[in-house]
Structure 1
Amino acid sequence: MKIYGIEMEEIYEKKKVRIFCRRNETNAITNIK
């Protein structure tokens, strides 16, 4: 269960990074416009 918990945390962190990257992309697009 501990290993599964660590894996879930890693997946969650990756999702956070993806969302952060998407936000940065949208911000960059709005700034260009």
Structure 2
Amino acid sequence: HRRYFIMLSTVEGNLFPRSCSRAMCPDVLNSVG
């Protein structure tokens, strides 16, 4: 799962972070980072 989230942050890091960073990404980024 970690690789999957990392890919989203890297590949579509321009779309997800903005609309998901405050929705679900925060927990993901904290877990991955």
TM-score computed with the length of structure 2 as normaliser: 0.33
Structure in which a larger fraction of residues adopt helix:
1
TM-score computed with the length of structure 1 as normaliser: 0.33
The structure that has the greater radius of gyration is: 1
